[in-house]
Amino acid sequence: MKKELGKTIFYSFIIILAAQLSMNLFIADFKISLAIVCLPLFLFLIDSFPLFPVTFCTATGVYISRTIIYWFQNGSLKGTVRSYLPETLFYISYGLLLFLYKKLLKDHALERTHAVFPLILIDYFANLTELLVRLGMNAFHLKTQSSILLIAILRTMIVWCILTAIEQYRLFLLDREHEERYRRLLLLFSKLNGEVVWMRKNTTLIEDTMSTAYKLYEQLKGSCLNPELTSSALKVARDIHEIKKEYLLIMRGISETLDEELTSDGMYLKDLLELLKDAISLIAREQKLELRMEIHCTDNPYTNQHYALMSIFRNLFINALEAADTPSVFLQVTQISREESFIFTVTDHGPGIDPEYIDEVFKTGFSTKINYTTGEINRGLGLNLVQDLVENQFHGRIELSSHPGLTTFTITIPLKYLKGDLK
């Protein structure tokens, strides 16, 4: 109850204040203002808008406010009833007609386009009601009628324009939200794609480990040296087999989801790199790093292999962040075409890679990144995954050159494996 009363007073107060900005028309006390446009606006925009209470509070409040202002200006209340009371009929008529219109709609939603003509009629008849009280039959003078009709049209157009502007702004925000959600989904799918590539590689390791465990069981069984050890070897082989089945089921579920998404439209290279730049910049800020990235593409090819390409660049960018030894990170990405290939370079102006590690960085599990406080070691999949994608999915090659202050990855990908058909 208190909440409803508070809402009624608040909305009524806004309309009463707006009513003070008015102009006289025809006769001195017939005032025209934009205050009345608030009623349909509130009705359209606010759920459970208390139309009846606000209408009567507004009508009363406008009369009282005009009377008080007149008293301050003239020091008397003489004539205020005759001058300002008819205006209350305008607000009450408008509110009642608006209520009847909403009731006629029943369960149908209010729509600004369909409401234009009814709002014009509501405004017109509300003004006519006030004028009939003030002027009697003289209210039907042609000039008077055309004027209140024009006023009704203008005020209704203002309502329509405001509602349209608000709707367009909502759509703009919704488009931005959808765009941001789409960007996050693209990044998510690129990460999943990279993980699936790694999981597929690991299936061979699982198979080999299971085979090794079973061979060990066969050897122990033939030697008859330790039955308990033999049983343990068999159990290990069985457990690995169960792990393999669950592993493959998980991988198949992710792969099926990805396969549906991977058949969707591709992306232009510049859009892909700009998306990654925004994502990596966010990661850099979280790590208290200042990232500057320059992107130069001579061709801007369109590719339907965008998820794999995003995995490649994302891993290279994150490696550069993790290797940074200063608060500032500077990355340069370039793309040129040569014969039937695209050549990409990712240059990191960081500490560089020690010569002794150059031949090791692409190996599985290799990492120089260790947190000496927690003992946590980076799992070392980034560059191995990049190499796998470049060489096996794109049939290309990746090269590395590094010295203090400059590390460059050069990726060469044949055009036919990268460039998709334009949609």
Burial of 165 (C-beta count, 10 Å sphere; 0-12/13-18/19+): exposed
pLDDT of 185 reads 64
pLDDT of 408 reads 92
pLDDT of 204 reads 72
- Residue numbers of the chain with a pLDDT score lower than 70: 1, 25-29, 107-109, 173-183, 185-198, 200-201, 224-225, 250-265, 364-381, 419-423
The whole-angstrom separation of Cα 183 and Cα 271 is 10
The whole-angstrom separation of Cα 157 and Cα 120 is 9
Q: How far is CA 81 from the centre of its chain?
A: 56
What value does the mean pLDDT of the chain take? Answer: 80
The whole-angstrom separation of Cα 377 and Cα 380 is 8
Phi-psi region of 395 (alpha: psi -120 to 50; beta: other; left: phi over 0): left
The whole-angstrom separation of Cα 244 and Cα 201 is 13
pLDDT of 365 reads 60
pLDDT of 413 reads 92
